[in-house]
Structure 1
Amino acid sequence: MLANIERLLVKYGMNFVNGLGTTLLLALVSVSVGCLIGALVAIMRLSKSKVLGGIATVYTEIIRDTPLLLQLYFFYFGLPMLIPALNKQKFLCIAIALICNSAAYVSEVIRSGIQAVDPGQREAALSLGFSESKAMWFVVVPQAVKNILPALGNEFIMIIKDTSLGSTFFIGDLMTQYLVVKGATYLPIEPLVIVGVIYFLMTFILSKVFGHFEKKMQKADRHSGYERKRKQQREVHV
């Protein structure tokens, strides 16, 4: 088995490298654009407009309550019917499906992160003359970021794993390359082991990186809290 894996790495190494690049690109595009759309959806859900809130709620519920594979099929076959220019753009159709899926989950992350901020912070900003929008962007959002970023890191890792479903449509990701190598060599296990190791290394390294930054943020929060406490104590003594 090890000998077969070595031969596959020598002969089909570029296949796995290309698959890795496609997987990372798909995940990065999905989460990046998904964050922008998710932020918009979160704002709609937090707005006082019942219409906007209802539209955002329906969107998130539909996406979160249906399987991702079903959504991929829907966008893969449905988008070219609506937009003929996408008829042969398999990668783009799958990317749009993953963006819409990611946006629904990111919107909930952003919404919960904003709602976790003490309402008194917003009220204090309003009492100082801030408008609703300025209070949100300059007071609430900066404090919500520390709650949002760790969850966004987890979402990126989840999307990396979810891209494997794109192999159903042969878009060039890691699992697509597995199918290509398996078909060429008639070896089902060895290329699967290689792909599994690559997925594991990607997600393990990324989880450690995101965990490192999360600890740094928590440490910075504790330090700033300690400094505020010391400042309050000095003011009391004075």
Structure 2
Amino acid sequence: MDTIYTSLFAPIGDDGLIGGLLILEGLKSTLTVTFFAMILGAVLGVATTFMKMSDHWFWRWPANLYVGVIRGTPVVIQLVILYFIVLSALDVGVIGAAIIAFGLNSGAYISEIIRAGIQAVDKGQTEAARSLGLSQRQTMQEVILPQAIKNILPALGNEFIVLLKETAVIGFIGGVDLMRAGEIIRSRTFEAEVPLFTCALIYLVLTYGFTFMLSKLELRLKQSD
């Protein structure tokens, strides 16, 4: 009990900040970055998907380059380069830079997930829709995408969970996320078990909670078939 009190309830520095409050602040940063990065990633993913599926090379080439670079380099390197080099002259802050970096990273993977989901829909669906007089755009919106969404939903859920856990590297650019908060408490109190296991438990609860909600959504979509 003394270890738990020292790690989570006792002041951990001259500023009198309590360890538990620091973890809550870190959790807030983690969830903020994850939420907005996922939105940015979804927008970029959709745009990149249609660029890669375009008949024009001047759309496909930059999309392929973007996906190749992002998938070929670690996210922590992308984060550090973006913050210390690309955005160094702009006052975007640590959280803003993290949202952009993780959004760019997630967008590349989401684009591949969406593209695979669209291509998984039987080509006969497209041919049947076009034979009924639907335009290419109407076919995509009314026939292909509704079916593709059901196919890619589990993969999108996995991408969100991966993104949530990847935010643990925000500390490399000086941000205080959930993982960094646990490390700060450990370094100041010399108690490793409670803060680190607390952070691990919070990540576990978040991922299991989201997985549960996703499974309920998948079940509802199956019932609507």
* Same-fold status (TM-score > 0.5): yes
Aligned residues of 1:69 and 1:165 also touching (Cα < 8 A)? yes
Alpha-carbon distance, 1:146 to partner: 0.4
Q: Does 1:4 align with 2:12?
A: no
TM-score scaled to structure 1, two decimals? 0.85
**What one-letter code is carried by the residue in structure 2 that aligns with 1:58?**
L
Cα shift at 1:198: 1.0
The offset of 1:99, in angstroms, is 0.5
Aligned partners of 1:34 and 1:106 also within 8 Å:
yes
- Residue 186 in structure 1 maps to residue 190 in structure 2: yes
Stretches of structure 1 lacking an aligned partner (at least 5 in a row): 222-238
Whether 1:155 aligns to 2:154 is: no
- After superposing the two structures, state which structure 1 stretch, 101-110 or 2-11, moved more: 2-11
Shift of 1:20: 1.2
Specify which of 19, 26, 31 is matched with residue 26 of structure 2: 19
Residues 56-81 of structure 1, C-alpha deviation per residue, up to 9 Å, x if partnerless?
11111111111111111111112234
1:12-161 superposed matches below 5 A:
12-81=19-88, 84-86=89-91, 89-161=93-165
**How far did residue 154 of structure 1 move?**
1.0
Write out per-residue CA displacement over residues 111-130 of structure 1, whole angstroms, 9 at most, x where no aligned residue.
01111111111122222222
Conserved in 1, the CA contact under 8 Å of 2:113 and 2:152? yes
Query: Equivalent pairs: percent with the same residue?
Result: 35
| 2:48–2:63 Cα contact (<8 Å) kept | yes
Root-mean-square deviation (CA, aligned residues, Å) is 1.6
Q: CA deviation at 1:5?
A: 2.1
Q: Which amino acid aligns with 2:126?
A: R
Partner SS state of residue 172, structure 1: coil
Q: Which stretches in structure 2 are left out of the alignment for 5+ residues?
A: 11-18
CA apart distance, 1:141 = 0.7
Matching residue of 2:179: 175
The structure with the larger Rg is 1
CA distance in 1, matches of 2:27, 2:180: 10
The structure whose residues are more often helix, as a share, is: 1
Letter in 1 for 2:141: W
AA matched with 1:52: W
Displacement, 1:30?
A: 0.8
Q: Displacement of 1:187 after TM fit?
A: 2.0
Distance in 1, Cα, partners of 2:2 & 2:155: 40
Question: Match for residue 209 of structure 2?
Answer: 205
Give the alignment's TM-score, normalised by structure 2.
Answer: 0.90
Cα-to-partner distance string for 1:39-96 (whole Å, 9 max, x where unaligned): 0000111111122112211111111111111111111112234xx223x612211211
Aligned residues: 217
Q: Structure 1: how far apart are the matches of 2:174 and 2:211? A: 27
CA contact (8 A) 1:164 1:173 kept: yes
Say if 2:34 and 2:167, in contact at 8 Å, map to a contact too.
yes
